[in-house]
Amino acid sequence: MQVLLSRFKTLEIGIEDYNRILDVNLRGTLLMSQAVIPTMQQQKGGSIICLSSVSAQRGGGIFGGPHYSAAKAGVLGLTKAMAREFGPDQIRINALTPGLIQTDITGGLLQDERRHAILDGIPLGRLGSASDVANAALFLASDLSGYLTGITLDVNGGMLIH
């Protein structure tokens, strides 16, 4: 997992790293969508929530590298294209773009000084939690978002306001 979170520069990205990041993030989103869309078409509706990242919108993040940002930006493009294609089937397809989320993985990588600098750039003054992302996904999956498709919902505490 360290490779997924390390800070790569463009000229340091090997083809294996590039393929792995795109396979997990972009190809995985496509393949999972292809697996569920036929059933959703048969039942005449459904909701797909794609996971992107604030890194796609910023052109980089705290962790990851250009290939991660590119893969997550690809997820946004795929989300919008599928939303247009499958909207007539009443299948809503939206994306979440989490910011920095506190997990066991990120916790060990953030030293106190760096953590405080990051928190200073987040208007809500805290890192996100897994439940913050889950609640946003629950909203997009529910009928409360019944007229939303092709949107990008930011879950970043204001880290990126646009």
Q: Known catalytic residue: 68? A: yes
Residue 77 has φ and ψ, to the nearest 5°, of -65, -45
Kindly name the residue from 66, 68, 73, 136 that is annotated as catalytic.
68
**Nearby residues of 40 by Cβ (< 8 Å), 6 or more positions away:** 46, 48, 86, 89, 91
Cβ atoms of 141 and 47 within 8 Å: the answer is: yes
The residue among 60, 88, 61, 57 whose CA lies nearest residue 75 is 57
**Residues forming the active site:** 68
